[in-house]
């Protein structure tokens, strides 16, 4: 039997354990407010991945706080599309992008050559 205390989170004026019905109800309310409560089959794969990532972030709810009223009311990041206005943008490094792109292309070519040599890849 574990003696560790369950992770607690503040909901409204009280504190509840994460593995409770109150937390699950709060999580579902936050998903509904963010528009993530239903699955839309018409979305492309990138939109589906973004929705999954936002749901995971909402479940973890390690939100430091921000001045946006909806985020304060829902006690979590409610940024549409996952783009928080309070996050500092990272500068784009063109040199690093070019270096990573070359590395990636070499890795793909190497893997294709290995697949052809082993017979995994049959070209028609």
Q: How far apart are CA 34 and CA 58, in angstroms?
A: 10
Co-location of 99 and 120 in the same domain? yes
Q: What is the pTM of this model?
A: 0.46
Domain membership of residue 3 (yes or no) is: no
Q: How far apart are CA 92 and CA 52, in angstroms?
A: 25
Both tokens of 84, joined, read 């928080």
User: How many domains does the chain contain in total?
Assistant: 2
What are the tens digits of pLDDT across the range 30-45? 778 777 777 776 778 8
Co-location of 15 and 63 in the same domain? yes
HSE toward the beta carbon, residue 83, CA cutoff 13 A: 3
Q: How far apart are CA 96 and CA 16, in angstroms?
A: 45
Co-location of 26 and 78 in the same domain? yes
What are the tens digits of pLDDT across the range 54-104? 788 777 776 667 777 777 777 777 776 666 767 677 788 888 889 999 999
Residue 75: domain span: 8-82
């Amino acid at each position: 039997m574990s003696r560790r205390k369950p992770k607690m989170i503040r909901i409204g004026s009280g504190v509840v354990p994460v593995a409770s019905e109150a937390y699950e109800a709060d999580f579902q309310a936050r998903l509904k407010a963010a528009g993530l409560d239903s699955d839309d089959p018409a979305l492309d794969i990138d939109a589906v991945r973004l929705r999954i990532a936002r749901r995971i972030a909402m479940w973890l709810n390690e939100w430091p706080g921000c001045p946006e009223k909806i985020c304060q009311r829902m006690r979590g990041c409610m940024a549409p599309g996952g783009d928080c206005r309070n996050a500092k943008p990272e500068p784009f490094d063109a040199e690093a992008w070019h270096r990573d792109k070359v590395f990636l292309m070499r890795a793909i070519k190497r893997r294709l050559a290995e697949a052809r040599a082993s017979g995994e890849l049959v070209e028609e």
